[in-house]
Amino acid sequence: MGVIGALAAGLLFGIGLILSGMIDPAKVQNFLDIAGAWDPSLAFVMAGAIGIAAPGFWLVRKRAAPLDGTSFHVPPANAPIDRRLIAGAAVFGIGWGLAGFCPGPALASLPLAAPATVVFVAAMVAAIAASALLQSRK
């Protein structure tokens, strides 16, 4: 598959994010605001994504190896739920709720060069770098 396959998959994913409205932070925040101006349209996006992904996961389980590798990298079913996992999920969820962005839609909307998007992506890159630095020191 290589670089061309990864580029094609990334472009398809980005186009899906754009068409679904996931790159609009206000739409995401309205979806999360169930007590206020709730916008349920992203629930249909999620349902559609599950409908597409479920058969894909089923097909992958039938394969012995991925198309471009020797084995799948899947966490074990009994992987521990530890502090790092909970903290990471909490930071992700809080950031998504406050900013209206998660990494994929933020990168897809970066070419629009909206100041809030640029700041979010810069902060995300800095946080990833800081996390990698902390992990390398352990």
Alpha-carbon span 37 to 29, nearest angstrom = 9
pLDDT single digits (tens) 47-73: 998 998 999 888 888 888 887 778 888
Alpha-carbon span 137 to 134, nearest angstrom = 5
Q: Which pTM does this prediction carry?
A: 0.68
Q: Where are the domains of the chain?
A: 2-137
Alpha-carbon span 69 to 1, nearest angstrom = 9
Are the C-beta atoms of residues 65 and 71 closer than 8 Å to each other? yes
pLDDT band at 25 (very low <50, low <70, confident <90, very high): confident
Buried b (16+ CB within 10 A) or exposed e, 96-133: beebbbbeebbbbbeeeeeeebeebbeebeeeeeeeee
pLDDT band at 90 (very low <50, low <70, confident <90, very high): very high
Are the C-beta atoms of residues 121 and 107 closer than 8 Å to each other? yes
Q: How many other C-beta atoms can be found within 10 angstroms of the C-beta atom of residue 21?
A: 16
